[in-house]
Structure 1
Amino acid sequence: MKRTVLLVSTALATAALTTTSAAQSGNDGPGTAPPDITGVPSPDITGVPWRAHTVTVDGVTQTVPKGSRAGLEFDADERTVTGHDGCNKFGGKAVVHADRSAITFGGEYRSTLIACHSPDSVPINPSGGTYDARVTADTLTLTGPDGHVITLKR
């Protein structure tokens, strides 16, 4: 009887660990949980101004002019992003995934609508959805669902 209980307990523990491990892996397969987007946003991404460096749209990369105000800043407490594209200010909800591999933009979004033709204006306003995020010591690269790539520097 002891051996049967031990084998059943071991099997249940193994199944629980396998299920927990699969759920934490972030895979999109059946029975797995999505990435945790309720965790505290990373201090490496939030709370610091990120200045736009390059923007790639439809395969064409544009270098942001030196001195441009274009950039993003993420607020960990409010779970928001504010930004400037060199002409207009914008902001809205933004959740940094707990593992910093992605940022989801959505919910209420606002923007000024100044009709300026500034050479400093660049398309960095995230259009919504989940962007892949890569962070290094001084660079944040966001790749949107449409292939739009925004590279920012601290």
Structure 2
Amino acid sequence: MTDGNQLISIGTLAKRTGVAVSAIRYYETKGLLMSLRTNGNQRRFLRSDIRRISFILIAQKLGLGLTEIEQELAALPQGRTPTVKDWQKLSRSIRSQLDAKIELLTKTRNKLDGCIGCGCLSLTRCKLYNPEDRAGVAGPGPRFVLGSAR
């Protein structure tokens, strides 16, 4: 058995990743991880699942939901250590999502700097002023900052 295919207990996986055992069980029920069972019905995970959980944690920090993470991890092989090529394919797959999030964050930061930071409080010049609720036709939410109301 290669290093990445070495089996480890759920406790070891939790300790190595900093994730609670209950969260690992939850990830398993969502199909993000797959355990093998011993004769005593104890869970064993591939050592390489440390990387899977690391990806889950990073993806969550980047704003991906568990459904998106589940879809991405479904492309990785189960039962063997993912190769560099496998991880590169996954990286390419989420790159456009990350680029879109970066663009939205940059746009939002710039608008917040300009609008909230300006201090004008003018009902005629302020870019956030919404006379007669014109932005309402575009739907609910913060249209001037996160969407396009004008």
Q: What TM-score range do you get, normalising by the shorter chain?
A: under 0.3
Higher RCO, 1 vs 2 (CA within 8 Å, ≥6 residues apart): 1
Name whichever structure is richer in helix by fraction. 2
Question: Between Structure 1 and Structure 2, whose CA radius of gyration is higher?
Answer: 2
Structure-2-length-normalised TM-score: 0.25
